A and B are shown apart, each in its own frame.
Chain A
Amino acid sequence: MSSLLKRLKNEVLVLDGAMGTELHKKGLEVGECPEKLNLTHPEILTEIHRSYVEAGSDIIQTNTFGASRIKLDEYGLGEEVEVINRKAVELAKAAANSDTIIAASMGPTGKLLEPLGDLSFQKAYEIFAEQAQILEDAGVDVISIETMTDLQEVRAAVIAVKENTSLPIICHLTYEESLKTMTGTDPVTAVTVLEGLGVEVIGANCSMGPEGLLKIIETLGKNTSTYLSVEPNAGLPILDENNNTIFPMKASEMASYLKKFVDAGANIIGGCCGSTPEYIRLVAEQVKKLKPKSKNHQAETKLASRSKTVVIADNLPTRIIGERINPTGRKELSAELKEGKMNIVSQEATAQAKAGADILDVNVGVPKIDQVITIKQAITTVQNLVNLPICIDTTDAEVLEAALQTVVGKPLINSVNGEEESLNSVLPLAKKYGACVLGLTLDEDGIPKTAEGRLQVARKIVERALELGIKRENILIDALTLTASAQQEGVQETIKAIRLIKEELGVATVLGVSNISFGLPDRKKVNTAFLAMAIQAGLNAPILDPTIEEMKATLMASDILVNRDISSQRYLKAYGQNKEAEEKKDTKQKEKEVELNILTQIQQQVLTGDKDNISDNIKKALDDYSALDIINQALIPGIQEVGDKYDEGIYFLPQLMLGAEAMQNSFAILKPILEKEGSKENQGRIIMATVKGDVHDIGKNIVKIMLQNNGFEVIDLGKDIANETIISTALAKKAHIICLSALMTTTMPRMEEITAKLKESNSNIKVMVGGAVVTKDYADSIGAYYSDNAVEAVKTAKKLVSNS
């Protein structure tokens, strides 16, 4: 066992503080490569390392945060990746005491991985693998992955280190004020994915103060028994009047925080950006008095998407695996997949999520297509639309690996079985990618007739998985449904097998239920009865069609009866209203369902920015709907969803703009119709301008588009516009709001002048301001309203109009 893991059993260890700040203090210039100093100024590095060791760091981190080939390439140093990393390790070792643990720092590539960016998973994997191998060979004790914000990049880094070295991993994610990473991952989901991948120490570092970080560590501590590491700061250091670095937080206050971190479960404590050897000395003094708290979190079967964790357990509600993304027996879907189109996949994903699916099965098994490409496309499409974990439905190892690289989070592999070939190809992939795996109880001899026979296959699958290091909680078993009309005597064997598997193996169970009724009339009746029986026997996650109301109703009712739906909460929420209203709603909904189809499609196209095809659908929709209905029921909800995704950090400016383009193409068709109909309905009238003296207008234009797309009438006066022109136009046009943009501090005062002028003239026109230098404080001080970005501007404008 590595010395790190041995010591963590009884000790809270102290990590070092910031490297970058110290390097800058010693003369590194902005724009220079910090890792190049390993070669040019080795004495500086030794000195910094030494100062941390002397301050009490048990673990010091090498100056290799940006020493991956891709980062070094930015400075033309890619070819020196090996010498730079080796030298860094040598320098850290030279400064270390005999018991100092050397951690190799590995930071992000600086590029966004697919689907958010364009760096492929495989490429990122290769970059991390190269650096990790060099570092291990140079003799480090542990790899410390730091400051990660994209869950997909974390997966690539961790898998690369695990596959190519035998070093333990500390993996720090960076959280923001929202307690999520920049790309929307919460700490519980991070735990799910990192535990799945077998990371030895899970950590958090971030730029927020210790209060926020404490919340993160508390959440992590409640959800894992893995060791935790935290890099807080005592508030960022400031200079006093004599130019000495001081910490705003008193030592006593900091001590109480450090104790809280350890109480919450932290096993390693270091310092974040700005922290110095003096700070680490304070940490070491306090921390050495403390003992680590033991965490006894029960292992659970967990799946995750980028931003959501789903726990599968006997005391929790039965989870639905939505089965509809599967071309078997569905001609239209097959045809689309053949053409590489994802319209139906999108629709099925959203529909199933709405209907209450917890996990989505994705199967692209169409003969004679390139399933590797198709499954990547399908998974990306689904994960861009809904935040549910994915169940990858394929038995082809090549397709499976492509899917495992594409999927974000912790997926379920559907499936492995008792055949040697399957065990040998699927289980290693499940282990490598930290996924859960579903075992089907069949082998070379087919499906065993008896429950005992299936238990035996299940036992074999579980044993083989455990041997490979896959944890028991990551294994699920499907006892297989036979068709009642063909093998009636076999039905109870399945039910019995679920019971036996639960009792002996203690793993979660999955079952595809609809097969049971094949060949019988009115299949729902048989399906629901079988589902209830299986849940009673211990089924945790049926694979079914959640859009069939009867199935969902049976599932929810059964959950009450087996005491999984505590206080019948979920049932009451779904069926709490009186029955009559329910039925009315039901028929209404059914009517709507047919209708909604084309509108849903349009909404979807806004969401995916499909500007090329949206016009056709708008024209089609006009046969049945008024232009206004299309806007209010399809386009506006679509662009709002785009806005939400932007807020959550799932979408970025390009997706926002793509959605906006789809909107504009639609409006181009609808506007003339609206005008003909004389409809004047709009959210409100807005005058917009970049103030006098300022010529920057890209931000203003983006805000304008978003406002227009959300139904506002925008009169854009342009840039460099005189105060008088703005005010007189606003008054003449009876505007509700004036939106002003300024990029420079020198032109910002125009905003104040305009706001004051309006007040003088007793106008109730509201003023919204924005631009690089504009802050909320400034807006407040002049009596205007501030928005941080275009999505927020729409929200502010809506609020202002509805209040006036």
Chain B
Amino acid sequence: MIDSLIEYSYSLIDCKGAYLILDKLQLDKEDNLVILGENALNFESKDIIELLEGQDKAALLAVTIGSSLEDKVKELFNQGEFTKATTLDAIASVAAEEVANELNTIIKEEAISYDLPHLTMRFSPGYGDLKLDIQPKILELLNSNELGITTTKSNILLPEKSITAIIGLGRVANSYRARCNFHCASCKFDSCVYN
């Protein structure tokens, strides 16, 4: 069943993505203020300061797999096809991550052309202290209307299976990442990215 659902999901996935590389990074450690580009984006975040420390440029990205697949999930749920619905929902999440990974690769290629071969982790609003209210600004910079991504009043992305993120590009590696709280005993993941 899983295989056939994966096969089926291709017909409902409409992936789109956009990215923008900003330079002129200003990191004000005193006020935890981050300014990217010519004041294109400014916000407060200690985590992003750590992430972009020593980096030369920063990429903004947004991806989505469209809303057809999540509509189908809802439809299946309403029809009582719970197994298919939950499985398809999981497929959708994986698909969105994969699209983001793909865009990551494209960004990396461009970064290498600037001689900035090291990419930081993909840091999304909602991780650490990076607030969700930055979402509309990121989307605006990326002309998200063309992608079909919008936000709710509380700054949650629509379609649900969409991702926005910031990545640092640098000459040297910065392996800063959103820290885990190391509550390993209650962790539900099969494998640990920290190990």
Contacts and interface: CB of A to CB of B under 8 A. Distances in A.
B74 to A, nearest CB: 8
A698 interface: yes
Contacts of B182: 236, 238, 274
B82 A660 contact: yes
B80 A694 contact: no
Contact of A698 (B73, B153, B185): B73
Interface string A597-616: 00000000000010000000
A273 B194 contact: yes
Given A27-B173, A27-B175, A694-B156, A661 B184 contact: no
- The main secondary structure of chain B at its interface with chain A is loop
Given A207-B187, A698-B73, 10 more contacts: A20-B194, A29-B121, A110-B190, A182-B190, A207-B184, A654-B87, A693-B152, A695-B152, A695-B156, A698-B86
A21 B86 contact: no
B75 to A, nearest CB: 12
Interface of B: 2, 73, 77, 80-83, 85-87, 89, 101, 119, 121, 126, 131-132, 152-156, 158, 160, 173, 175, 177, 182, 184-187, 190-195
B87 A744 contact: no
A698 B83 contact: no
24 contacts: A18-B195, A20-B194, A21-B195, A29-B175, A30-B121, A31-B101, A110-B191, A149-B190, A208-B184, A236-B184, A273-B192, A657-B85, A661-B80, A661-B82, A693-B156, A694-B156, A695-B158, A698-B73, A698-B77, A744-B126, A744-B154, A745-B126, A746-B132, A747-B154
A656 B142 CA distance: 41
A209 B182 CA distance: 12
B92 to A, nearest CB: 10
A557 interface: no
A24 B86 contact: no
A30 B167 CA distance: 13
A118 interface: yes
A696 B158 CA distance: 10
Contacts of B153: 693
A49 interface: no
Given A20-B194, A236-B182, A701-B77, A30 B87 contact: no
A801 interface: no
B86 A653 contact: yes
Interface in A656-695: 657-658, 660-661, 664-665, 668, 692-695
A274 B158 CA distance: 38
A587 B54 CA distance: 82
A693 B154 contact: yes
A207 B183 CA distance: 9
Bin the interface of chain A by size.
Answer: 35 or more
A274 B192 CA distance: 11
Interface of A: 18, 20-21, 24, 27-31, 110, 118, 149, 176-177, 182, 207-209, 236, 238, 273-274, 609, 653-654, 657-658, 660-661, 664-665, 668, 692-696, 698, 701-702, 705, 720, 744-747
Nearest to B90: A653
Contacts of B184: 207-208, 236, 273
Contact of B2 (A30, A118, A665, A720): A118
B81 to A, nearest CB: 7
B137 to A, nearest CB: 16
Given A664-B80, A720-B152, A208 B185 contact: yes
Contacts, number: 101
A241 B194 CA distance: 21
A110 B158 CA distance: 32
A110 to B, nearest CB: 7
A110 B189 CA distance: 12
Contacts of B101: 31
A369 B32 CA distance: 73
A201 B192 CA distance: 25
Nearest to A176: B185
Contact of A654 (B83, B119, B160, B190): B83
Contacts of A27: 173, 175
Contacts of B132: 744, 746
Contacts of A695: 152, 156, 158, 160
A207 to B, nearest CB: 3
A88 B177 CA distance: 27
Contact of A29 (B152, B156, B173, B195): B173
A702 B82 contact: yes
Contacts of A20: 192, 194-195
A18 B182 CA distance: 15
B52 to A, nearest CB: 15
Most B Cβ at <10 Å: residue of A29, A177, A653, A661: A29
Contacts of A18: 195
Contacts of A664: 80, 82
Contacts of A745: 126
Contacts of A720: 152
Nearest to B175: A27
Contacts of A238: 182
Contact of A702 (B86, B186, B195): B86
A661 B155 contact: no
B124 to A, nearest CB: 12
Nearest to A118: B2
Contacts of A744: 126, 132, 154, 156
Nearest to B180: A236
Nearest to B193: A30
B9 to A, nearest CB: 15
B138 to A, nearest CB: 16
Contacts of B154: 692-694, 744, 746-747
A696 B194 contact: no
A21 B194 contact: yes
A274 B195 contact: yes
A177 B185 contact: yes
B156 to A, nearest CB: 6
Given A273-B195, A696-B160, A744-B154, A30 B177 contact: yes
Contacts of A698: 73, 77, 85-86, 89
Contacts of B173: 27, 29
Nearest to A658: B83
A27 B173 CA distance: 7
A654 B185 contact: no
Nearest to B83: A657
B159 to A, nearest CB: 9
A149 B192 CA distance: 14
Contacts of A747: 154, 156
